[in-house]
Amino acid sequence: MKIGIVCYPTFGGSGVVATELGKALAARGHQVHFVTYNQPARLDFFSENLFYHEVSVSNYPLFDYPPYELALASRLVDVVRFEKLDVLHVHYAIPHASAAFMAQQILLTYGINIPFITTLHGTDITLVGQDRTFKPVVTFSINKSDGVTAVSAHLRDDTYKYFKIEKDIKVITNFIDLTRFSLKPKDHFKKAIAPNGERILVHTSNFRKVKRTEDVVKIFAEVVKKIPAKLLMVGDGGERSLCEKLSRDLGIAENVRFLGKQDAIEEILSVADLFLMPSVSESFGLAALEAMACKVPVISSNAGGLPELNVEGVTGFLRDVGDVAGMAERAIYILEDDARLEQFKENALAHAKTFELSNILPQYENYYQEVIDKS
Ligand code: GMT
């Protein structure tokens, strides 16, 4: 198949899922064309089946807001016509689904009928999508999609709850490439971070409010009262400086390291004993799955799709959003006993394996074929 993928070229979340999916499809012999405004973060190697088409937006003085959606739609028309694509797969509804719809309508005037699939990732539904400004467009473009997928059952249910959707939404969960995300021998790094054998806790995110990163620091502050430990904060974003200040105010700064954005997340996760994800909302929690694949148990909130990923008492524990004391108490429970910690680590890996890329990829391939056959 010749597949066009539209996504945000970001370090985390939907951008990573779209890029990893495209790379895997290319490895299976499909021709994959990425259409976005920057080279996707993980599209870092050459493959004869992978193509990247940049969307550039002219910035005329007239435009206070350069019209990205129009530039994207025009680029899609071009790429579909000249590369003869079979299907478009857009990740994150806003504004990708409406741009794909516009491109589809324009292409009909050239006698080309291309179907498009929209994958909902979370904030496009739960936060941004519910904004009154976007809601009519999001509803319309989901209903006009030839196929719709959601990354968890919870996100599918939320989409039905908050929008008037007439389409079937298929759940295809996120996935993990276990050849990349697995325990790496990084003992020297572990020794440098935790020279006295301290437990290592990790949080990775874009440090947006939705991640409740201050709760991460507060949970850690409780843990370190009972157990010698270090906290690695990976990523960057608006809340980072608040967390830095909080860790200084709580007197734990020397045990907390802010590493900024990192490419080789799997190497950092390889030294970790516990992953913290206290988010207020999380459609799936890909960062937690990456941790589990590296044998790291998870303490998370029970928001959104997290209960579909983190199994209470097996791969970790889930507590209500904001229950810092409860999360800290469960973290200590896991970390205080070597044998117990090892069992949780084994369980985390075993459960991560059920999300292996090779299990999920055929679901997308079959869905593409189904949508193409119907169009
Ligand atoms: O979590 C973010 O802020 C990024 C966001 C995105 O769209 O890139 O992530 C969403 O999509 C990920 C991939 O499907 C999910 O694993 C995240 O749970 C989801 N984030 C939220 O729902 C807050």
Q: pLDDT digit string (tens) for 93-122?
A: 999 999 999 999 999 999 999 999 999 999
State phi, psi for 353 to the nearest 5 degrees. -60, -25
Is the pLDDT confidence value at 278 over 90?
yes
User: 149 CB less than 6 Å from ligand 1?
Assistant: no
Q: What is the three-class DSSP state of 32?
A: strand
Q: pLDDT digit string (tens) for 323-352?
A: 999 999 999 999 999 999 999 999 999 999
Cα 152 to Cα 172: distance, rounded to the nearest angstrom:
7
Residue type, 39: Q
297 in Cβ contact with 275 (< 8 Å): yes
Q: What is the three-class DSSP state of 4?
A: strand
* Helical packing angle, 93-108 and 135-144, nearest 10°: 50
Domains of the chain (ranges; CATH) run 2-175+356-374 (3.40.50.2000), 187-353 (3.40.50.2000)
Angle at 31 between CA 29 and CA 34, to 5 degrees: 135
219 in Cβ contact with 327 (< 8 Å): yes
For residue 187, what pLDDT is reported? 86
Q: Is the ipTM of this complex over 0.90?
A: yes
Reported as half-sphere exposure (CB side, CA atoms, 13 A), residue 305 has a value of 28
User: 17 CB less than 6 Å from ligand 1?
Assistant: yes
Least confident of 9-18, 281-290, 335-344: 9-18
User: 288 CB less than 6 Å from ligand 1?
Assistant: no
For residue 143, what pLDDT is reported? 97
> What is the 8-class DSSP label of residue 255?
G
Q: pLDDT digit string (tens) for 177-221?
A: 999 898 888 888 899 999 999 999 999 999 999 999 999 999 999
User: 95 CB less than 6 Å from ligand 1?
Assistant: no
pTM score, whole prediction: 0.94
